[in-house]
């Protein structure tokens, strides 16, 4: 697992409940993950030892295309990769080659690096011109969910509640607790 924030921690709970050993990488270790018997290891260990790799981290310039040719070369044959974070974390062209070679056994993507023209409007009657997306979509072992991971009743209720609470606080001249501030 790459990324052990709130979402990563929820996934750790699920995976530990299934009896899985969980290896983690995150520049900021989460004590709650350690309490759940997840073990922090270098990224190279995640790549070489994991049967399933899940991404739950923000994208930065440092981790753009973190899953690339070099990373795939370190992985076990048949690894399952799930990316629900940011499309730019995965080099899609390199993933195609890894799928063809059997290095990736299955690939689940809720995000895609060039998703803007694909996921937010009805394309059912259009020809998809993104060749990389078309090649990935043609693979029987690739599943796209197109940003549907957030589309649950609880998630939408939380989004609406947080938005309304923030607007109300702003109108009343109060802090919502959700303001973005520059890092010091």
CB 92 within 8 A of CB 113: yes
Report yes or no: 38 and 1 within 8 Å, Cβ to Cβ. Answer: yes
Closest CA to 26 of 4, 58, 10: 4
Q: Which token pair is 128?
A: 């998809």
How big is the CA angle at 85 (ends 51 and 156), to the nearest 5 degrees?
120
Distances (CA, A) of 76 to 22, 80, 104, 118: 16, 10, 8, 31
CA distance 60 to 149: 21
Could you list the active site residues?
Answer: 86, 115, 147
- State which H helix or E strand residue 169 sits in: helix 153-171
- Through-space distance between the first and last CA atoms of the chain, rounded to whole angstroms: 28
């Amino acid at each position: 697992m790459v990324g052990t924030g709130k979402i990563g921690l929820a996934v750790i709970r699920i995976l530990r409940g299934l009896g899985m050993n969980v290896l983690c990488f995150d520049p900021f270790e989460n004590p709650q993950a350690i309490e759940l018997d997840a073990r922090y290891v270098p990224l190279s260990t995640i790549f070489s030892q994991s049967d399933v790799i899940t991404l739950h981290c923000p994208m930065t310039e440092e981790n753009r295309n973190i899953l690339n040719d070099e990373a795939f070369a370190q992985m076990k044959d048949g690894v399952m990769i799930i990316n629900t974070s940011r499309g730019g974390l995965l080099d899609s062209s390199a993933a195609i080659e890894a799928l063809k070679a059997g290095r990736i056994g299955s690939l689940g993507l809720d995000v895609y690096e060039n998703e803007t023209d694909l996921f937010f409007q009805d394309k059912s009657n259009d020809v998809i011109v993104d060749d990389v997306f078309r090649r990935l979509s043609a693979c029987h072992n690739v599943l796209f969910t197109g940003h549907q991971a957030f589309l649950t009743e609880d998630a939408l209720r939380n989004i609406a509640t947080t938005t309304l609470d923030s607007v109300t606080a702003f109108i009343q001249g109060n802090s919502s607790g959700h303001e973005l501030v520059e890092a010091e």
